[in-house]
Amino acid sequence: MGKLYVVGIGPGGLDYMTIKAVKAIEESDIVVGYTKYIEMIKPLLDGKKVYSTGMMGEEARCQEALRLTSEGTVAVVSTGDAGIYGMAGLILEMKKDEEVEVIPGVTASSSAGSIVGAPLMHDNCNISLSDLMTPYEDIKKRVKLAAEGDFIISLYNPKSKGRPHYLREAIDIIKEYRNEDTPVAIVKHALREGQEATVCTIGTFDDSIVDMMTMVIIGNTKSYIKDGLFITPRGYKLENK
């Protein structure tokens, strides 16, 4: 019976994978993942059996990945960190006696943050606005408490066609706890083909350029913009800008 690796491939560009992630894929006979993620790591897939499916088949994909360990070593790939909104949870929930190793990756908020400055330097949180599996009321409550707690807030899955107004509403909630000039980063395809990044303020924020592939990061009360860079000071007492 082969081992199963759950591999976080990071933002998508091969250079931002860990060496361990590359090794795990190289060592695997079979690679399983969402079609778009499989595309991103194509140069590593020569001679391997690939099992890719559309976004909605996650449970079936995990089931298949676990089954495939009877045929060899398997890598299930997720973008970002496989352990943050990735495939690690479902695989571990469904696994029986298969040997599973989770290989962490650079999560999407870290990738997005790195290209706009240093927004995540103090206490920070990741919130997904997707209500596919979480009631919207719970999401809004969480956004409010995070804003009140002065967290830097990274919004995953900020917008989709079925819920076009959630992001606007989240920003309105956060605005009650932030000045108008609080920095906001809008980052699309961080560190992969098609990268686009904008830094604006919560007062001028326009959600029209945001889609499901975007990460939105909102600063804490000490965050500021310096020459276009979004910076959160690490210490509240530090005044050396």
- 74-78: strand order across its sheet: 49-53, 30-34, 74-78, 4-8, 100-103
Name the residue nearer to its own copies (CB basis): 138 or 181.
Answer: 138
Tell me the closest approach of the beta carbon of residue 163 to its own copies, in angstroms. Answer: 16
CA 24, CA 20: separation in Å to the nearest integer?
A: 6
3-state SS, one letter per residue, for 98-151: CCEEEECCCCHHHHHHHHHEECCCCCEEEEECCCCCCCHHHHHHHHHHHHHCCC
Tell me the closest approach of the beta carbon of residue 88 to its own copies, in angstroms. Answer: 4
Name the residue nearer to its own copies (CB basis): 11 or 214.
Answer: 11
Name the residue nearer to its own copies (CB basis): 73 or 107.
Answer: 107
Tell me the closest approach of the beta carbon of residue 94 to its own copies, in angstroms. Answer: 7
Name the residue nearer to its own copies (CB basis): 71 or 118.
Answer: 118
Neighbours of 45 (CB within 10 A): 16
The set of residues, in sequence order, having a beta carbon less than 8 Å from that of 151 and lying 6+ positions away, is 123, 124, 125, 220
Tell me the closest approach of the beta carbon of residue 221 to its own copies, in angstroms. Answer: 10
Tell me the closest approach of the beta carbon of residue 232 to its own copies, in angstroms. Answer: 6
Name the residue nearer to its own copies (CB basis): 1 or 71.
Answer: 1
Residue written as token pair 């082969």? 2
**Amino acid letter, residue 86:** G
